[in-house]
Structure 1
Amino acid sequence: MKVLVLTQYFWPESFRINEVVVLLQRMGCEITVLTGQPNYPQGQVFEGYRAAGLGTRQHEAGYSICRVPLVPRGDGGALRLVANYLSFVLSATVLGPWLLRWKAYDLIFVYAPSPILQVMPAVWLAFIKHAKLVTWVQDLWPQSLEATGFVRNRRVLGMTAVLVRWIYRRCDLLLVQSRAFVSPVQAMAGITPVHYHPNPGELVADQSQPVGGPALQLKPGFNVVFAGNLGTVQALDTVLDAAELLQLHEDVHVVLVGSGSRSDWLQHEVARRRLRNVQTPGRFPPEVMPGILAQASVLLVSLVRSPIMSQTVPSKMQAYLAAGKAIIGSLDGEGARLLSESGAGLACAAEDGPALAAAVLRLRALSPDALQRMGEAGERYYRQNFDPDILAAKLVEHFSQVLAGCRR
């Protein structure tokens, strides 16, 4: 099976599609990746690449990576982000066919976090290559635009909805990362089938420990560790509200590992509030994260309160479950349901600082054995629901059924 994977974000950027491509290759698919120049999350093109670069390289895993030019994200301002998104769509639409000339594909697979617009080049490529088109929806559009505050104009949101319907209805299959996505996506997709396919966890090979101990040594005590993007939807003000309430408990430390659009705000706010119990060590490469998570007493996931976020399963949830640690979720909806179903920890309402502080103290009061049992329950749930090899096999099954003409 010859598969073209189209994604704006790809290795050496850290996204789950990297591991999915490796597994598809191992399962016998002949993979080509069409992507942009790596620049996420710092906003600057990685060393060894050029924003205006165009060409094909062979990855050591055996697949080809075709890269088209784009405008880097820069500091993440609205205009720069729009330029980043649209430049990839334009480059992939115009230059992608030239890079892929003479190559035939059975199926085009789009990894589609925001923006969904990146499916547009795939629609064109599927047409000229006579290939089937499968899109893996990671965010709901236009709902996520409104939830993040990126777009508030009702007319623009309405026009975006029309475009999203057009995109969905040109796909042969839509996969969604959350069960709660099925209904809203199907409502816009017409007769295009929609099925749940969660994000997998990391490959075991990616969880090696660095020589010489962990890259970050946590303080003795009860460490509440958040790992991932520090952006607008992570409700960081709620986390700081809880940390402020927890300052009386000197053994409790809140460690926010990562970077993002609110990194500078976070540093300033921690200083302004004089939060001695909050640590912001920055971002670390994925390969050293298991050593950091292993030191946590509990792991923290948080989201803002909104209809779209209540339908979303944060991608860090799989990594948390795999780490075998108890989890605190400051979120609503699907993420809270998953946490309750797995038995891996406690969930409290989104954007409720006092409730989050109370949840931390509840877990702090438990015995080490009780916390370990929560972590083990989460790890079992991970193996049953998010194992990368199992999900890759299911993905190949989806592809095969689409190629066979099945519309389930």
Structure 2
Amino acid sequence: MHILFLTDNFPPEGNAPATRTYEHAVRWLQAGHKVTVITCVPNFPEGKVFDGYKNSWYQTHHLDGINVVRVKTFITANEGFVKRILDYMSFMVTGFIAGLFQKKPDVIVATSPQFFCAFAGWALSAVRRKPFIFELRDIWPASITAVGAMKDSLAIRFLEKIELFLYRRSDSIVSVTHAFKAELIERGIDGEKIEVVLNGVDLTKYKPTASKDADLAKQYDLEGKFVAGYIGTHGMAHGLEHIVDVAERLQDYDDIRVVFAGGGATRQKVVDLIEKKKLKNVVLIDRQPKDMMPKLWSLCNVSLVPLVNNDLFKTVIPSKIFECMGMGIPTVMSVPEGEATTIIKETGSGLVVESENVEQIANAVLKLYQDNELYLSIRSKSVEAAPKYSRELMARSLLNIFRTYKK
């Protein structure tokens, strides 16, 4: 089977969509299938082309056996509604054109979070008369208004009409959460064609470690420190100003450090707040290559997983919780009560507190710092839960869906 996959994020980008697609694709190859990924030049989240790449109209290369086709797009940082729309629409056009030249695909898959990529996938499926699988990673454009990037308007309602059109025209929808499936059914989408395949963890890379990576710990002066880390994209949805406030509350504890690692639209805001508050217990680490992530995670005793207090985020499952399970890192989750908090509670892999509640987040970190028996118990339960969310299982589930719709 030849799987043609459209996504505007792919390694060496290290965000969740890029990681999910890559880790599934290498397993589809191992199962004997051909995979072609159409994507753009790596630039997320800073909106700057990565070293060694050029924003060219059409270029191809192989990554661990995956046939990667990169197309030219309008590139901008992950901020500003109009510029981002231009970015998305440019990939929709160039990705569609590139898809016309790929030989004999059996299924066409396109992923969100934004649906312009999915629109290109649907258009290709219509022209080439192949099944279209819509991988739904976010309810977009609702997430735009949820983070305050844009108010409800005629433009948003127009985008929602396109969104519903794509849901209806897809042969199958693969949702990354059960909550997304429930919401789509409430909006009139046929539940029979919606499957749920959660995010997961590559257990060949993310394993429990007894100590911090020695070189990184020395470089960032984290030897012998209890580290609460926020690792990942610094976006509007995460409310990282509250984590800066958490660091301020913890500054009297000499052995505790708060780490911010990554980049994104609100990275500079975080840096500015730290400087304004003159915090000495915060360590800033720039965005790292994906292959550095297990070493980066090894620095953390606790993972901080925040989202702003908006009802939309009740339906979101931050994918980093699965990497933390794989490495045995307890999670302090401060997101609206929903599917993600249920996973943490049922697996016992962390502590759940109120979204944006600085006092509760700080107290949860202190609880894990001071209660070693509790810490070791949660660590053990995290490792025990990880195999339920292995990439191997998720990749196999997706293949079964593709086989169902292959013509």
Q: Which amino acid in structure 2 is aligned with residue 117 of structure 1?
A: F
Match of 2:5 in 1: 5
Which protein has greater RCO, CA pairs closer than 8 Å, 6+ apart?
A: 2
Unaligned runs of 5+ in 2: none
Asked if residue 362 in structure 1 is aligned to residue 367 in structure 2, the reply is yes
Distance 1:269-1:49 versus aligned 2 partners, 3 A rule = same
Q: Structure 2: how far apart are the matches of 1:287 and 1:93?
A: 30
Alignment of 1:168-183 (within 5 A): 168-183=167-182
Q: Structure 1: how far apart are the matches of 2:78 and 2:316?
A: 26
Task: Give the percent of matched residue pairs that are identical in Structure 1 and Structure 2.
Answer: 25
Asked if residue 40 in structure 1 is aligned to residue 41 in structure 2, the reply is no
Deviations 1:166-223 (A, max 9, x none): 01111111111112111112334633621211112135257799xx944344242321
Distance 1:82-1:309 versus aligned 2 partners, 3 A rule = same
Asked if residue 274 in structure 1 is aligned to residue 278 in structure 2, the reply is yes
Structure 1 residue aligned with 2:401, among 385, 398, 403?
A: 398
When the two structures are superposed, what TM-score results if normalisation uses the length of structure 1? 0.91
Q: Which amino acid in structure 2 is aligned with residue 72 of structure 1?
A: I
Match of 2:196 in 1: 196
Alignment of 1:7-406 (within 5 A): 7-14=7-14, 15-16=18-19, 17-57=21-61, 59-74=62-77, 76-97=79-100, 99-100=101-102, 103-113=103-113, 115-188=114-187, 190-191=189-190, 193-202=193-202, 204-205=204-205, 213-217=214-218, 218-332=222-336, 333-367=338-372, 369-384=373-388, 386-403=389-406
Q: Structure 1: how far apart are the matches of 2:250 and 2:275?
A: 16
Distance 1:62-1:293 versus aligned 2 partners, 3 A rule = closer
Distance 1:398-1:137 versus aligned 2 partners, 3 A rule = same
Q: Which amino acid in structure 2 is aligned with residue 4 of structure 1?
A: L
Q: Structure 1: how far apart are the matches of 2:368 and 2:207?
A: 26
Q: Secondary structure at the match of 1:381?
A: helix
Q: Secondary structure at the match of 1:9?
A: coil
Q: Which amino acid in structure 1 is aligned with residue 171 of structure 2?
A: D
Q: Structure 2: how far apart are the matches of 1:252 and 1:126?
A: 53
Deviation, structure 1 residue 73: 1.7
Alignment length, in residue pairs? 395
Q: Structure 2: how far apart are the matches of 1:214 and 1:125?
A: 48
RMSD of Structure 2 on Structure 1 (CA): 2.1
Q: Structure 2: how far apart are the matches of 1:356 and 1:221?
A: 18
Distance 1:296-1:191 versus aligned 2 partners, 3 A rule = closer
Q: Structure 2: how far apart are the matches of 1:317 and 1:281?
A: 20
Unaligned runs of 5+ in 1: none
